[in-house]
Amino acid sequence: MVQKTQQNGYALVTGASYGIGEEFARQLAARGWPLILVARSQDRLERLRASLIAEYLDIDIRCVTLDLASPGAPAELFQKTQAANLEVGLLINNAGFGAFGEFISIDRQRQRQMVDLNVAALVELSHLYLAPMKQRAAGGILNVASIVGFIPLPYCAVYAATKAFVRSFSEALHEEARQYGVQVMVVHPGSTKTNFFEVAGTSPFNDPSRMQTAGQVVRESLRAFDHGRSSIVTGASNRLLMMAVALVPLSWIAAIVGRQIRRKSKRVENLSRYRGGTVAS
Ligand SMILES: NC(=O)c1ccc[n+]([C@@H]2O[C@H](COP(=O)([O-])OP(=O)(O)OC[C@H]3O[C@@H](n4cnc5c(N)ncnc54)[C@H](OP(=O)(O)O)[C@@H]3O)[C@@H](O)[C@H]2O)c1
């Protein structure tokens, strides 16, 4: 259960400076969890810490400023928490980013950083923090994937593939870890109102009026975690969409989505705008 008890230790949230990660920090603080907040933006983390302390007074909150896509960063984070004697009872692997555009046109270094953060750091942190959880036969890991992890997504190929990895990895790890009393769950949000699209750019499918809030995504996620689920798609319309998608061959989905994106992109502007290699969810 994700409800705080005295024995749970800290909840460590990666990507806590914005969006879904910040909301995880807020909702876990409300449940009484002491927190370790990780991201690159020190000022944002310190501001969040100050606001949570103002609200919950005696809450213990540590901030770690780190680029988790850089080599050795997950091990450095683990060493820091070990050295400070901070037991992590709940790991939220949330930090991640996307990029929309033609695969061949998106900067190679940026694609590599996406794999390093969305996949490599998540696997390494899971491995590092799972070992002491296994010893204690207690704890949980919650990995943030995306509904795009269910489908091959043209013009968002690497991001969708990183989330497919997180989905498969987490479902498999759930089955292993539950044997020794540790819960692993994967969350699949659809488009959510966060800073994500500022970083990734605007995809032709962005429709802010149909997006969930980070608050809704986190509330649904924590509720599912409380119930011992292995995975959740947040938002009723996203769940319906994923049920429909499951009935169609993946090659058809890729072809349909690719055609739609090309058509919408031409309407919004020219596809060449996306060839610069920013832009998706
Ligand atoms: N928003 C959506 O539509 C949507 C949909 C499905 C899934 N998701 C997933 O949800 C997760 C959170 O995204 P969000 O929507 O909340 O986006 P966001 O508002 O852009 O937040 C991303 C977080 O990740 C952190 N981050 C990025 N690069 C990092 C790095 N190299 N090292 C450490 N931290 C890093 C950012 O902090 P700094 O910049 O301070 O480092 C920020 O706190 C991601 O995994 C994303 O793929 C989002």
| pLDDT tens for each residue of 251-264 | 999 999 999 999 98
Look up the pTM and report it: 0.94
Is 80 designated active site? no
Pocket probe for ligand 1: among 111, 151, 188, 192, the residue whose CB has the most ligand atoms within 8 Å is 192
**45-93 pLDDT tens trace:** 999 999 999 999 889 999 999 999 999 999 999 999 999 999 999 999 9
Choice among 159, 193, 264, 274 that is catalytic = 159
For the segment 153-175, the average pLDDT, to the nearest whole number, is 97
Q: Which residues line ligand 1 (CB under 6 A)?
A: 14-21, 39-41, 44, 67-69, 94-98, 117, 144, 146, 189, 191-192, 194-196, 199, 281
Q: Is 163 marked active-site?
A: yes
pLDDT for 277 beyond 70: no
Q: Which of 4, 10, 155, 163 is catalytic?
A: 163
Ligand 1 centroid–CA 247 distance in Å is 30
Q: Calculate how far, in angstroms, residue 17's C-alpha sits from the geometric centre of ligand 1.
A: 9
pLDDT (0 to 100) of residue 7: 55
Ligand 1 midpoint to CA 19 (Å): 7
**In ligand 1, which atom is closest to the CA atom of 145?**
7
> Candidates 12, 24, 40: which one to mutate for ligand 1, based on the most atoms within 8 Å of Cβ?
40
Task: Check whether 19 has a pLDDT greater than 80.
Answer: yes
Domain ranges of the chain: 10-275
Which pLDDT score, from 0 to 100, does residue 278 have? 40
Given the CA of residue 159, which atom of ligand 1 is nearest to it? 47
Query: Tell me: the pLDDT tens digits for 123-132?
Result: 999 999 999 9
CA 18–ligand 1 middle distance (angstroms): 7
For 33-45, write each residue's pLDDT tens digit. Answer: 999 999 999 999 9
Cβ–Cβ under 8 Å, residues 281 and 98: yes
pLDDT value at residue 68: 98
Mean pLDDT of the chain: 92
State in Å: Cα 95 to ligand 1 middle. 4
Nearest-5° angle of CA 199, CA 41, CA 190?
A: 40
Pairwise CA distance, residues 38 & 122, whole Å: 13
Q: State the DSSP string of the chain.
A: --S--TTS-EEEEETTTSHHHHHHHHHHHHTT--EEEEES-HHHHHHHHHHHHHHHSS--EEEEE--TTSTTHHHHHHHHHHHTT--EEEEEE-------S-GGGS-HHHHHHHHIIIIIIHHHHHHHHHHHHHHHT--EEEEE--GGGGS--TTSHHHHHHHHHHHHHHHHHHHHHGGGT-EEEEEE--SEESSHHHHH---TT--GGGPEEHHHHHHHHHHHHHTT-SEEE-SHHHHHHHHHHTTS-HHHHHHHHHHHHHHHHHHHS-THHHHTS----
**Residue 14 Cα: closest atom of ligand 1:** 34
Q: Which atom of ligand 1 is nearest to the CA of 200?
A: 20
CATH topology of domain 10-275: Rossmann fold (3.40.50)
Q: Answer whether residue 202 shows pLDDT above 80.
A: no
